[in-house]
Amino acid sequence: MTTATTTPADVRTLHDANELESRGSESGAVPKAGKLGRRPRRSPAARREERTGWMFMLPFVLLFLLVFVFPIVYAIYSSFFQQVATGGAYGGGEVVNKFVGFENFKYVITSDKFWGGMGRVLIYTVIQVPLMIISALVLAMLIDSFIIKHVGGFRLGYFLPYAIPGVIASIIWVYLYNGQISPIVKGLAAIGIHVDFFASNVVLASMVNITTWTFTGYNMLIFLSALQAIPHDLYEAARIDGANGWQIAMKVKLPNVRGAALLAMLLSIVGTIQLFNEPQVMHTADPGINNYYTPMMMAFNSSRGFLTPKGAGPSNAIAIVMAIIAGLLAMAYAFIERKVNES
């Protein structure tokens, strides 16, 4: 079935190649014309430009290899090893790096702790991401509308929590959640609402609140820049057609920030799967948040020896399995999003 369509194309490519080849040998500029002939010849200026481009890339490429590619390769390599003691009750006074094949991955995949943590993180993502994206969108729409004056102040105010490092934010909130010193808890108690932010069925929501507080402003900025890129002619056209403010927001603005929403959702999903700062900091205040509460915490505490099996092998295996799951989730989300858009 394909022969009819492919043959002419093949012929053309062959023809082009031959032509280039013959031209190359004619000029004699390229010694091994037979191999290089397929590529179009570039002028010395173009080659110089290419080299300049690579020179600009060089610092990035070197650092990228050094701090990104190399550690990942090394992590994958070491996930096939385990440190074990040799002989004696206390070990033989040294540990050996034993190749254990897929043993570490088997441990992760069959570990209740890992899947428990994964479950918590997924629940967390399902609650947190829509909550944050919708609030960010609403805030961005409000700021973009003409209802609000002093846009700069609002924009800065909403974005400010993002400027606070995640760990610091978590520490601040731990104080605000603390049953004995928090003005929030005391204030609520004064009007008859007794709330324990560390209760085992509430604590995940407490973390959701911290993350939402931190990242809503950041996502709002993404939406805001997308909103401001919409040509104003569209609004005018809609208004002439009799649309009111609400209709413009829903029918013109919303469809135009879809791309930004996809980006924000993807970043948020990947980010929330890696939930770490909040539970790790809150663990100090509430030891009931165990040290494998999320897969990231499990990896971290395995590497520190607070969970067994410990060491680089098991903790890298946890990190790798988690990265694969996060990647799959992001892909699945992007795929569904596209399908929905197409229909």
Partner 1 sequence: MKRNRLLMAGGAAVAALCMALSGCGGGASGAKTGDTEQADPNQKVTITYLHRLPNKPGMTPVDEIVARWNKDHPNIQVKATQFNGNASDMITKLETDVKAGNAPDLAQLGYSELPEAYMKGIMEDVTSEAEQYSKDFAQGPFEQMQIGGKTFGLPQDTGPLVYYYNKTAFDELGITLPKTQDELIAAAKTAAAKGKYIMSFQADESGNMLTGLAGASSPWYEVEGDAWKVDTQTDGSKAVANVFQQLIDAKATSTNPRWDPSFDASLQKGELIGTIGAAWEAPLLMDSMADKGKGDWRIAQIGDWFDNAGKTGPDGGSGVAVMKGCKYKAQAMEFLDWFNTQIDDLTSQGLIVAASTGTAKTPAAWSEFYGGQDVMKEFADANANMNNFAYIPGFASVGASMQEAASKAASGTGKVSAVFDAAQSASVSTLKDSGLSVVE
Residues that bind partner 1 (CB under 8 A): 48, 51-52, 55, 58-59, 62, 83-91, 93-95, 98, 174-175, 178-181, 200, 284-288, 290-291, 301, 303-310
Calpha distance 66→115 (Å, rounded): 32
How far apart are CB 290 and partner 1 at their closest, in Å?
4
Query: Do 223 and 258 meet the contact criterion of CB atoms below 8 Å apart?
Result: no
How far apart are CB 211 and partner 1 at their closest, in Å?
21
The nearer residue to partner 1, 7 or 86, going by C-beta atoms, is: 86
Name residues whose C-beta falls within 8 Å of residue 313's C-beta, 6 or more positions apart in sequence. 78, 79, 80, 81, 82, 83, 100, 104
Looking from the CA of 71 toward its CB, the CA atoms found within 13 Å total: 8
How far apart are CB 9 and partner 1 at their closest, in Å?
41
Query: Do 66 and 74 meet the contact criterion of CB atoms below 8 Å apart?
Result: no
The nearer residue to partner 1, 11 or 85, going by C-beta atoms, is: 85
The nearer residue to partner 1, 94 or 342, going by C-beta atoms, is: 94
Residue 85 forms beta bridges with which residues?
Answer: 95
Q: Identify the sign of the CA torsion 212, 217, 220, 221.
A: negative
The nearer residue to partner 1, 62 or 76, going by C-beta atoms, is: 62
Query: Do 117 and 293 meet the contact criterion of CB atoms below 8 Å apart?
Result: yes
How far apart are CB 48 and partner 1 at their closest, in Å?
6
The nearer residue to partner 1, 2 or 308, going by C-beta atoms, is: 308
Calpha distance 82→113 (Å, rounded): 19
Exposure string (b/e) for 75-102, b if CB count within 10 Å is 16 or more? beebbbbbbeeeeeeeeeeeeeeeebee
How far apart are CB 234 and partner 1 at their closest, in Å?
45
Task: Give the DSSP letter string of 278-299.
Answer: HHHHHHHH-TTS-TTSSHHHHH
How far apart are CB 29 and partner 1 at their closest, in Å?
21
The nearer residue to partner 1, 218 or 293, going by C-beta atoms, is: 293
Residue at token pair 């209740």: 112
The nearer residue to partner 1, 25 or 83, going by C-beta atoms, is: 83
How far apart are CB 3 and partner 1 at their closest, in Å?
51
